[in-house]
Amino acid sequence: MWERVTTPAAADFSRRGDYVAPDEFANASSEVEDAIQDEWNAHIAPSEAILGVEAAAREYNQAGRRLDKTVAAAKAARASWADIGRAVGISRQSAHERWAEKQ
């Protein structure tokens, strides 16, 4: 928490104390506003990062399902496991092991 201190001498930014004259409206200084925003950004950074992970995981899973469907379509069109493996960047054997049972 930031504290409104009673004298200019008591103002200490490092201890979260800011002076505002008693006859002034108690708006935080722009320096304090920036510090609060920085603290808030640091506070929510992990949550925002997790939202990115969740989005990437959704996209990854969707891509996996799309790949499974396109491999099935390629096999239905009589593509070889060697061609499928080459297209995916894996060996013929790895392609066969991954998708043969899904056919």
* Single pTM value for the model: 0.61
How many other CB atoms are there within 10 angstroms of residue 7's CB atom? 9
Q: How far is 30 from 41, CA to CA, in rounded Å?
A: 16
Q: How far is 21 from 38, CA to CA, in rounded Å?
A: 25
What pLDDT digit, counting tens, does each position of 36-63 carry?
A: 899 999 999 999 999 999 999 999 999 9
- For residue 90, give the nearest of 67, 58, 65, 60 by alpha carbon: 67
The residue with tokens 């504290």 is 3
Bridge partners, residue 17, by sequence: 3, 12
Q: What total of structural domains would you count in the chain? A: 1
The residue range of the domain holding 46 is 3-102
